Amino acid sequence: MKASKTIHNNQARIKIDFPYNQEMSAKVRQIVDARWSKTLGAWHIPCNEESQNQLIRLFPDIELPQNPIIEHCESNSVGRSNSVEKINPSIEGCENISEDRIYHSAFPLKAPQNGISRDEITITVSGKSLILKMPKNETDIQFVRTFNYVRWDNRQFSWVIPNYGKNLELLKNYFNTRISRIETRLLEQPKATPNFSTTQIITDLPKIDSENLREIGRFKEWMEHKRYSDSTVKTYIMAITTFLRFIRPKTSAEATNEDMRRFVYLYMLPRKLSFSYQNQAINAAKLFFKTIRGSILITEQLERPRSEHKLPNVLSKEEVSAILHASHNQKHSTMLSLIYACGLRRGELLNLKPEQVDSKRHLLHILNAKGKKDRVIPISDKVIGMLREYYKIYRPKTWLFEGQIAGEPYSEESLAKVLKIACLKVKIAKPVTLHWLRHSYATHLLESGTDLRYIQELLGHKSSKTTEIYTHVSEKSLQKISSPFDNL
């Protein structure tokens, strides 16, 4: 929590910044004339001695500016006396506050001899992170934002920058003599790979206790408030629930980095859980322990598995054609054909509504797809004709593709079965999934000469690097390469 001086509606006020918290907001409301401002995006209170003393009593650890707030307010107030004295231990309510406490609270009698001013710039080298603390300055902030993967830490009121390449050198060169201190925080030495015996392997997990269950509920509410997708919320809740069950009888506050290592070795590896599951468990733990529950677990030291570099699975045009024509059911063939014809994800197909098909402009509107992004995809006369034939037969009410119950969307499991049956009919033994049709769409576009930038837009990829992976499986590109063996 941090307080600062501000002018709001031509009045001197004290602005209070803190991450959203109902309990803290309720306390702030106890202060006379406390108000919420949409403009400031924060609570603010009168800039007077009484309000500030009440703020300090409610929040003893609040971070306040070096210069006394009251002096600043009085100097900016119209028609007021400048005779307000600085706070001292004789003021009511401050008798038991130490001199250092008074300095911290905003009314310094003198600066601590070994204290560090909040106007100073400090850099802490902590393993893979550089922690930068500096006074607010828009020019400096714009510079800091130029670093890749930089983030703001609300709890420590500091910038966290990855410690790699020339990042530290760039910070030194930019801030130069303004830097008051650079320190290195020694992290625990990496531990040797644990040699867990097979007798330690966890077979059954205990049930989750009520306290952890409440914390998981708060975690879910926080993610929903932040508008995480339903699939992400479900995945993270399952992962963190499994981890908290694994460490029982420990509580979440007692979780350590060693517990996460044990979770990997004694739970994930024996069950042959995937790389992505391990990565999701790390993501869930980092988010949970940063936002809901502080603990002795150091989230920055949670190590991810080595990245996988898998190539997309692609079917030939002949295989795709055979699969799309295998089913004699109009609905089944239309669903599979639309996935390939537009490069759709499974969820995007099942969430389609009839009004998203713009036949006059030959466009298909994809709404609220992965990453909360919308996009449009061109559709041909052939696709429009296929959809019209389907619509005449089934007359869907709400969703473009509905299940046996009218108004209910077609299920993911049923769609997967449709593809599996089609592959069996045409005797394709490959473990084909619906996403293979999307990969095939992108690769066949690339082979026909479509620019990568357009393919990126059609697929809804955020980064062009994601789309570039299709160059590795393009038959047209690979066939240009001649093996030296052929020249022997």
Q: Which of 27, 86, 370, 425 is catalytic?
A: 370
Distance CA 4, CA 11 (A): 14
Distance CA 342, CA 438 (A): 8
Helices and strands in the chain, H and E counts: 19, 12
Catalytic status, residue 438: yes
Q: Which of 15, 438, 439, 444 is catalytic?
A: 438
Q: Which of 44, 293, 439, 461 is catalytic?
A: 461
Please provide residue 483's backbone torsions phi and psi, each rounded to the nearest 5 degrees. Answer: -75, 140
Q: Which of 245, 286, 331, 435 is catalytic?
A: 435
Distance CA 386, CA 337 (A): 9
Catalytic status, residue 345: yes
Radius of gyration of the chain (CA): 30
Distance CA 165, CA 163 (A): 7
Distance CA 469, CA 479 (A): 17
Catalytic status, residue 472: no
The 3 state secondary structure assigned to 319-379 is HHHHHHCCCCCHHHHHHHHHHHHHCCCHHHHHCCCHHHEECCCCEEEECCCHHHCCEEEEC
Q: Which of 261, 345, 362, 375 is catalytic?
A: 345
Catalytic status, residue 370: yes
Catalytic status, residue 80: no
Residues shown for the chain = 488
What positions carry a catalytic annotation?
345, 370, 435, 438, 461, 470
